Amino acid sequence: MKNLKEKTPDISSFQCPSSPSSYFLSFEGIEGSGKSTQLKNLKSYLEGLEYRVIILREPGGTAFGEKLRGAILASEEALHPIAEAYLFASSRAQLLNQVILKELSIKKTVVICDRYIDSSIAYQGHARGLGTETILKIHELPPLNSLPHQTYYLDIDLQTSFERQKARGNEKDYFESESKKFYQKLIQGFKEASRIFPDRIKIINGHLEEERVSADIQKYVNRLLGISH
């Protein structure tokens, strides 16, 4: 029957880093969702609360990861979905081991990552057709089983995405040049990730004005930090 509850994958091997007074956050969304702007706004807000804030991006964040990023985004030939999935996982594992987990051991530190595992679920799992279970399986072993304490998914529709990309006028990279059908699958993939991790992923209306979006994100951050305004 169509109304049967969808099966939820086993996520028992995943956990947030144990880091008292320090937090791991991530931003997700399709192109043009406003991640870069909101990353900067959240950084300023947290620094105002006297937190040490580190901004990272995926793939990237390490010398190894940046080389992979350049190779992927500049590729003029289609990569096999499995190759894509493992390239991103390789960059992520290095970033966790070399940067994220070490930085979180320092008190009052917030690490904010531009994209993380949910992008793998959306891009390779859903849009490329590997399946969510495959992506989760790749990430079962440490350090890849580390999850952010909170993730902010900036939710926008396809029309808004393409309008904002056009307004930026940048040359399209490997993923930005994909079709509307691919982007629609991405949105479905992010929704799937939100269903699997409902407590971690906070869905934010990315169509709202910048200040309103920032306020909505800060509301969730305050709860995480135990701040009541």
Domain definitions of the chain by residue range? 23-225
Are 142 and 16 in contact by the 8 Å Cβ rule? The answer is no
For 23-225, CATH number out of 3.40.50.10900, 3.40.50.620, 3.40.50.300, 1.10.645.10 equals 3.40.50.300
What confidence tens digit (pLDDT) does each residue in 125-181 have? 999 999 999 999 999 999 999 999 999 999 999 999 989 888 887 766 657 667 789
Supply the pTM of this predicted model: 0.93
Q: Which of these ranges, 46-55, 80-89, 161-170, 219-228, has the smallest mean pLDDT?
A: 161-170
Report pLDDT for 1: 37
Nearest residue to 140 (alpha-carbon basis) of 117, 123, 113, 108: 117
What type of residue sits at position 208? L
- The predicted model gives 72-80 an average pLDDT of 88
Longest dimension (CA), the chain: 53
Average pLDDT, the chain: 93
Are 17 and 101 in contact by the 8 Å Cβ rule? The answer is yes
The order of strands in the sheet holding 201-205 is 52-57, 109-114, 23-28, 150-155, 201-205
Report pLDDT for 179: 78
